[in-house]
Amino acid sequence: MMNTEHKNAFGMIGLGTMGSNLLQNIADHGYKCAGYDISADKVAALNKLNPKAIQGFTDMNDFTDSLSSPKVVMLLVPAGKIVDGVIEELLEVLDKGDIIIDGGNSHFIDTDRRFKDLEQKGYHFIGMGVSGGEEGARRGPSMMPGGDKKAYEIVKPILTKIAAQVNGDPTVAYMGERSAGHFVKMVHNGIEYAIMQLISETYEVLKNGLHMEHEAIHTIFEKWNEGRLQSYLIEITRDILAYKKKGSEHLLLDDIKDEAKSKGTGKWTSQAAMDLNLPIPIIDIAVSMRDLSKYKDLRTKASKMYPDSGEIHYHNKNDEHVTKLEQAFYFAMVSAYAQGMHLLHRANEEYDYKLNLDLIAKIWRGGCIIRSAFLEDIYAAYQKDLNLKHLFLDDVVHQNLLKSIPGIRTAVSEAAQNGIAVPAYAAALGYFDNFRSEDMPANLIQAQRDYFGSHTYELKGKEGTFHTEWEAGK
């Protein structure tokens, strides 16, 4: 056995790009660490990276024996049954009081179950969302740990050093109890779905609505990334719209199939919101459009049956419409973040996570996929009012939304008139117009439900529920 001072401070199971990059990040900050994988090739590759600070293993016993106590083991493996299988294997070689961190995109319901089970067995468990992709893992991700707070305090020194830094603050913080970390990461991914869908719809309008060339569209995203729309997703879109393979005369983008994949976190966000009776339509439609993209054969047949009715014609000049489109994007982007934050507020009430929404906005400002200039406004809004129920009610957001309403109305109406699909933009506008309605037409729905199913209704200014024999009044 090695002396404690020579043992590794951190262990990683799963040596894909994310796991390997995180280990290198940890080693860069002065910690010895170990990695385990069933793939001998991945372990061999790891052992070549930094032999003085990183050790790779294919034997689970040797891997855990190399760790100092309490042993800290992080899992970066595919969500689902594989996580449970690895945890079962770990329990054979870990001691009570050791710490297991699930750093994958696990469903928060599974994290709740695992937390309770491991707590009963005497182990510490942290469910931690990690965002930032491969580059984030290597240079500084945003991390959302939840679960065992005492265990978090033990790993906090390492996590704060390897996280991205914004204005001197690390983009990691304890999110809350039980599955809070994975719930927050799930909502992060839902917002990510929404913004990606909005960007794709913007591209569609610029390309097929305003008939712009890729170079001009690239310039627009480049300009937007220098203003209030600055974000990681706008930035990478700018780069994609200029990327050509060596020797090619056209963009790689033109060769990519229009069938979007997903790993389920967007769907989980929609399901969680529906369970909580909370609307997040811009996220819902983003999930639905990814699903629709997979039905290429049906879409191809329908395109022949329902061709465009005529030449697309936008009323404004291109530069005027681009200005309106920038307003529309800002409006819809704000709506995406607002709906996600509202879901976190509601989940906090239902699940008693003890979330701090200002802290969530703070650690999303850097390292993660949805980092953006607007997150500074979100952080400021929740710093000003920790009990803010909805982002639309913040004074600064309110004023900026008012200025952007003409843009979103123009973008949605002109796209509809020209047969260009902008469902996420339309969802953002529809949500807003209903949100600002003191009286929605839901009274008619209640009357209908009572008519066909005797489901009863409530009356204005009266207590109790009521039922009417509607047919008798014909």
Phi, psi of 102 (to 5 degrees): -95, 105
Identify the three-state secondary structure at position 141.
coil
pTM value is 0.94
131 is in an annotated binding site: yes
Tell me the CB-side half-sphere exposure of residue 140, using CA atoms within 13 A. 18
- Count other C-beta atoms under 10 Å from residue 231's C-beta: 21
25 is in an annotated binding site: no
In the block, which residue shows the tokens 């040596």?
15
What CATH fold (topology level) applies to the domain 185-436? Answer: N-(1-d-carboxylethyl)-l-norvaline Dehydrogenase; domain 2 (1.10.1040)
β-sheet bridge partners, residue 145: 128
Out of 2.40.37.20, 2.130.10.10, 1.20.5.320, 1.20.140.10, the CATH code matching 440-473 is: 1.20.5.320
Q: Which two tokens stand for residue 271?
A: 């399901």
188 is in an annotated binding site: yes
Domains of the chain, residue spans: 10-174, 185-436, 440-473
218 is in an annotated binding site: no
Helix-strand-coil split of the chain, %, nearest 5: 55, 10, 35
CATH superfamily of 10-174: NAD(P)-binding Rossmann-like Domain (3.40.50.720)
263 is in an annotated binding site: yes
299 is in an annotated binding site: no
Beta strands in 220-294 (DSSP E): none
105 is in an annotated binding site: yes
How confident is the prediction along the chain (474 residues), in pLDDT tens digits per residue?
Answer: 334 457 999 999 999 999 999 999 999 999 999 999 999 999 999 999 998 999 999 999 999 999 999 999 999 999 899 999 999 999 999 999 999 999 999 999 999 999 999 999 999 999 999 999 899 999 999 999 999 999 999 999 999 999 999 999 999 999 999 999 999 999 999 999 999 999 999 999 999 999 999 999 999 999 999 999 999 999 999 999 999 998 888 999 999 999 898 878 899 999 999 999 999 999 999 999 999 999 999 999 999 999 887 766 776 568 889 999 999 999 999 999 999 999 999 999 999 999 999 999 999 999 999 999 999 999 999 999 999 999 999 999 999 999 999 999 999 999 999 999 999 999 999 999 999 999 999 999 999 999 999 999 999 999 999 999 998 766
- Provide the annotated active-site residues: 185, 192
- Count other C-beta atoms under 10 Å from residue 391's C-beta: 25
